[in-house]
Amino acid sequence: DAGVIQSPRHEVTEMGQEVTLRCKPISGHNSLFWYRQTMMRGLELLIYFNNNVPIDDSGMPEDRFSAKMPNASFSTLKIQPSEPRDSAVYFCASSSLGQGYNEQFFGPGTRLTVL
């Protein structure tokens, strides 16, 4: 298994631009998570999906952030318009809720820099 795949690995953009981060979960997993990690705030859960349905988006900071999961093998996190304070590492993770121990597996992350 290739694990959780994220793209791009690095993204540098200018303030005001739209940014789209992509994630492919582990095949067979039914839950997908988007996290943000910064030095100041540590790891924060932004949103998570179960069976492609958003379950908890209380961590999404503002309306500028949106996430979709059109099918079981793909999800996007979009920031529009981006701001310098959005600079962080964004992680995607997946797990099999209800099918075992709910262990989460993380992708390598996307390092976003907004200038």
Q: In terms of DSSP bridges, do strands 74-79 and 19-24 run parallel, antiparallel, or are they unpaired?
A: antiparallel
* CB closer to another protein, 1 vs 103: 103
Give CA 24 to chain center in angstroms.
Answer: 10
User: By CB under 8 A, what part of segment 43-102 binds another protein?
Assistant: 43, 45, 48, 55-56, 91, 93, 95, 97-98, 101-102
Q: Is the dihedral of CA 28, 105, 31, 69 positive or negative?
A: negative
**Residue with smaller CB distance to another protein, 50 or 81:** 50
In whole angstroms, give the CA distance from residue 79 to residue 10.
15
Give one word for 40, left, alpha or beta, with left for phi > 0 and alpha for psi -120 to 50: alpha
Residue number with CB closer to another protein (65 or 90) = 90
- The least CB distance from residue 64 to another protein, in Å, is 23
List contacts with another protein (CB under 8 A). 31, 33, 42-43, 45, 48, 55-56, 91, 93, 95, 97-98, 101-109, 111
